[in-house]
Structures are given as C-alpha cells and as structure tokens.
Amino acid sequence: MFTVARRLGVGALLLAGLLGSQESALAQFTFNPGLQGNNVVGNPGMTLNNYLALIQAQARSAAQLAPLYNPAANPYAVNPYTPYAGAANPYSPVSDPYAGLNPYNPVNNPYYTNPYGYYGNISGGTLMGQADVMRAYGVVITSQEQARIMREQARQARLDTKKKEFDLDRYFKENTPTFTEDQAKIAKTTLKRIQTNSNPYEVTNGTALNMLLTDISKFPGKKLSMEPIPISEDVLKQLNITKSSGSIGLLRDDGKFTWPLALQELLSAEQQKAVAAQTQLLLKNARNGKVDANVLKDLRNELERIRDTLTKKVLEIPTSQYLEAKRFLNDFDEARVALERGEATTQFNFEKWATGGRSVQELAEYLANRGLRFAPATYNDEAAYRAVYPAMVALDLAFNTQSSASSSESKD
C-alpha cells in the first residue's frame, strides 16, 4: 500500500514539474503518437491545452485518493487484492503448490501454445493464420456443395413422389370399372335374379319377360338341342305386345270390356254406353290405320272426368272396389295411348300369328325379329303372363348354358 501511494505521489510531482514549463511540455507531446498538431487523434474536438488540463485533474484526484489506501493514514484502508496476513494467493504461481504441474503454464510446458493468443506472438503465426483462412474457405465451399447435393436429393425425392402418384393414379384408373362395366355388372346381377327369383309384379307388368327376351336376343340364329316348349293359342292371345308404349289389352276383344262395380254405381247407363261406343269406333278405325284425333281427345277428357269423380268418392267406396276401379282406369288409359300410337295393328297382327299355338322359341324369335316387347298385363291377363314366364326362363338358361359350353370347347 505504501508503494502505491509513493508511486502516485511521485507521478503527481513529475506531472506538476512538467506543467511548470509549457514550452517544454509542448515539445514532449510532439512525439506522442496520439497527438496530431494541437488536437488529440480520435477526438479532434479536444485541444492540447484541454488534454493537459484533464491530466492535471486526474493527477490531483489521484493525490487526494492516495491517503485513503495508506494504512498509516487510514486504519480502515484494506486492499481487496492483498491476501490476509499468513494467507496465500491462490492465483499466485509462487504460492500454488500445483503450479509446477500446470500443463497450461508456458514455463512448465514448452509445447504449450495459447490458442487464444495472437499469431504474431508465436513462431509461424503468420502461416497459421493463412492456414485458418484457407481452412475456413474450404469449409464454406464444402458447405455449399453439401447444400447443392441436399437440394438435388430433395428434387429427386419430389420427382420420385410424383412418379409414385402417377403410378397410383394409373393403377386406380386401370382397375376402376367404367360406367359401362358397372351397368353390365348390374344387368348381369339383375338378370340372374330375374331368372331365379322374380317377383310377381315384375312378371305381370312385363319387366321380367322383357329382360329375358333381351338376353335371348343375344343368340340370333342359334339352334337348341332341347325340345320345343309349346304355348297354347289362348295364352298367346292374352299377351299384350307393343313397339313403344301403351297396352291395347283392355280393348283387345273388339273393344268390349266390363265396367267394375264401383264405376257402375258412379256412372249412369247412358254414360257407360257412350264411352263403350266411342271406344269401339276408335278401335275399328285404328285397325284400319285410321285414328280420329278429335275422338281420342274426347275420350281422354271423359276418362279424366270419371277419374275425378272416383277420387271424390274415395271415402264412400270400399277399398277393394276403389282399387279395382282405379286399376281399370289405368288400363283404359294405357289402351288409349296404344290407340293413339298405332299399336292396335301390332296387337292384331300378333294375335293372327298366334292362331293355333306356338312354341316359346318361336315367340321369342317373332318378337326379337320385329323389335317388339311385352306390354303390361291387364287384370284378366296376369295368368297368361305367369304361364309364359317359366318357359322364357328355361329358354334363356338353355341358350346361356350352350354358349358357355361352346366357349369352353373352343378354348380347349
């Protein structure tokens, strides 16, 4: 502590002596590399006189603070960096018992090189610095090349993903059934059900018979080894045949029909006779290829009035009679449509052909060759439709069985 105070005091006295001669001080500061002319380098706003005044103030402050660290003048003065009496400084290599074993001490380890020291302080430092620069440059180049490689790998991965997506989409397209294939599968499934388990309504409205006829038509000109299945004339003449739509069935017997009980009570005898006469005239002209549009219009209006009358009396008529009357009016409307579209001639020619009875093979061939189909049955014709249905099923199964056997033989 005395040494520090002594040094501060001597420095202050020397500074005071230097300040005593301004010209001598100016001459000395001329050699200070921190001065340039009358200004301090790095701080052009500070002149030489200001700099000297600053130094003087620091010297006076040091002189004033020196007694505080002098134990003689200040009994409370304690230097925190001076060890206690009898204590050893752990940071002093003299008092450190392991100082001689410290591998990081340049005195004990001649091969030690401080990695954090300046290259200029060690032998070959210039070359080491250049080597580090070259090494850093090489690391940058390597990182760039690795980045390029990784970018190329990512691009290849994206292309591979696109290829896999394309292959998956193509797989779906190749294995997804088309609309035509779906419809063919549905038709095949429906045909199989029709052949084995058709419901009665599908038979009487002609749906089942028409599906069997369509499938049989796929084998034109083929002969079967099975015996012909005969169908009597009475059954054939109760079948309603059409080219497009409508069924002449109700008026098939020269326009004669019987009114249901519910309509007999709703219509007067004069109304019944007028409708019957009008219908028979239409049928007679239709068989000759002549249809009066005005008469057809009057018949349609009359049927609509009868239907409205029946609907208004629905609560007054027993349910069974009401359903019978409604079915009769529907059949009547089908007959009117058939007359309007010239189906009377088609039905008349078929009945003429069926005279004497035919086989089911001949029936299917007759209808297929002329583009005809089964029209819905009337109430009195349902028994004939049910009789023809099993014969049509047997014929269709025989054609398919024979065709499958022929295909197997051709493959062998």
Same domain for 64 and 189: no
Last residue of a domain, one of 69, 86, 108: 69
Residue of 197, 218, 240, 258 lying closest to 400 (CA atoms):
218
Could you tell me if residue 189 is inside a domain? yes
Instruction: Dig out the tokens for 41 from the structure.
Output: 């380098």
Could you tell me if residue 115 is inside a domain? no
- The Cα–Cα gap between 300 and 315 comes to 25
Same domain for 376 and 234: yes
Could you tell me if residue 399 is inside a domain? yes
Pick the range with the lowest mean pLDDT from 55-59, 252-256, 352-356: 55-59
DSSP 348-412: HHHHHHTTT-EEHHHHHHHHHHHT-EEPPP-GGGHHHHHHHHHHHHHHHHHHHHHHHHHHHHHH-
212-254 per-position pLDDT tens digit = 999 998 888 777 878 889 999 999 999 999 988 788 888 888 7
Same domain for 189 and 61: no
**9 or 408: whose pLDDT is higher?**
408
Q: What is the pLDDT of residue 364?
A: 92
Same domain for 188 and 43: no
Q: In whole angstroms, how far apart are CA 364 and each of 194, 214, 249?
A: 17, 9, 20
Same domain for 348 and 212: yes
Phi, psi of 373 (to 5 degrees): -150, 170
Give the helix/strand (H/E) hosting 40.
strand 39-40
Instruction: Dig out the tokens for 185 from the structure.
Output: 């599968």
Instruction: Dig out the tokens for 295 from the structure.
Output: 């008469």
3-state secondary structure of 232: coil
DSSP 129-155: HHHHHHHHHHHHHHHHHHHHHHHHHHH
64-122 per-position pLDDT tens digit = 655 555 555 556 555 555 544 444 555 454 444 554 555 555 555 555 555 555 545 55
Q: 363 and 236 in contact (C-beta within 8 Å)?
A: yes
Q: 260 and 325 in contact (C-beta within 8 Å)?
A: yes
Same domain for 53 and 199: no
Q: How many domains does the chain have?
A: 2
Same domain for 338 and 194: yes
- Domain that includes residue 234, residue range: 184-411
| pLDDT band (50, 70, 90) for residue 18 | very low
| Most confident residue range from 23-27, 224-228, 303-307, 406-410 | 303-307
Residue of 128, 107, 103, 133 lying closest to 118 (CA atoms):
128
Could you tell me if residue 98 is inside a domain? no
Q: 398 and 224 in contact (C-beta within 8 Å)?
A: yes
Could you tell me if residue 95 is inside a domain? no
Exposure string of 219-231, with b = 16+ CB inside 10 Å and e = fewer, is: beeeeeeeeebeb
Could you tell me if residue 116 is inside a domain? no
Could you tell me if residue 147 is inside a domain? no
3-state secondary structure of 33: coil
Last residue of a domain, one of 38, 69, 100: 69
Which amino acid would we find at residue 357? G
Could you tell me if residue 158 is inside a domain? no
- The Cα–Cα gap between 121 and 141 comes to 30
DSSP 249-279: GGGTTTT-----HHHHHHS-HHHHHHHHHHH
- The Cα–Cα gap between 328 and 310 comes to 12
- The Cα–Cα gap between 111 and 47 comes to 49
Instruction: Dig out the tokens for 237 from the structure.
Output: 């003449």
Same domain for 383 and 239: yes
Same domain for 188 and 65: no
Last residue of a domain, one of 12, 39, 69: 69
Q: What is the pLDDT of residue 48?
A: 64
| pLDDT over 90 at 281, yes or no | no
- pTM, two decimal places: 0.56
